[in-house]
């Protein structure tokens, strides 16, 4: 009887954990997915080489390209771009579906010169580089081209996202 009770108790605990885990997974699908730290902010202490490897792994697993966004906390246009993206859920969702975002800090504290030495020269900040799932840069993007009347344009940004979205027929060719 004691053995039966212990088995029943263990089964109930596992069942409760299973139900809770299942609920957590369902909830995760309906709420905003937690982004990796390298996608959310510029951090002079981060290692862009390690973050780049993680971004490549995530991009490969999720069949997305990588958007390398170069800037810093000192950059007012970087803050404006972040605010612009976060203020429009459709735009933010389209960005996350198209790219794994890798933010790379450039500042007096850490210029990440070694990492950025392999990239084409940029004209200002923020600057974006589109990379394939393997990390090969395929496009350099001046974010000034997203401006209209000194404000970021949703239409221009969405056209950029559409241009670089991996189409299902092309997904296998992009590997």
What is the SS3 assignment for 19-33? HHHHHHHHHHHHCCC
What pLDDT sits at residue 34? Answer: 87
Tell me what pLDDT residue 4 has.
43
Ranges of residues in the chain with a pLDDT under 50 are 2-32, 169-173, 175
The whole-number pLDDT of residue 9 equals: 46
pLDDT at residue 33, rounded to an integer: 66
Structure confidence by residue, pLDDT tens digits, 148-169: 999 999 999 999 999 999 986 4
For 37-174, which CATH superfamily applies?
Answer: Glutaredoxin (3.40.30.10)
pLDDT at 167: 82
- Burial of residue 131, with CB atoms counted within 10 A of its CB: 0-12 exposed, 13-18 middle, 19 or more buried: buried
């Amino acid at each position: 009887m004691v053995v039966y009770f212990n088995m029943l108790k263990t089964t109930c605990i596992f069942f409760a954990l299973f139900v809770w885990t299942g609920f957590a997974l369902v909830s995760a699908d309906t709420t905003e997915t937690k982004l990796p730290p390298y996608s959310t902010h510029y951090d002079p202490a981060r290692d862009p080489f390690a973050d780049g490897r993680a971004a490549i792994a995530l991009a490969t697993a999720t069949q997305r390209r990588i958007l390398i966004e170069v800037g810093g906390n000192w950059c007012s246009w970087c803050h404006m771009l972040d605010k612009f993206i976060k203020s429009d859920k459709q735009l933010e969702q389209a960005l996350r579906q198209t790219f794994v975002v890798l933010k790379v800090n450039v500042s007096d504290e850490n210029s990440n010169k070694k990492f950025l030495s392999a990239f084409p020269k940029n004209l200002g900040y923020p600057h974006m580089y589109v990379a394939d799932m393997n990390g090969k840069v395929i496009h350099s993007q001046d974010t000034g081209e997203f401006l209209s009347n000194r404000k970021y344009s949703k239409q221009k940004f969405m056209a950029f996202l559409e241009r670089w979205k991996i189409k299902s027929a092309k997904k296998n060719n992009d590997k």
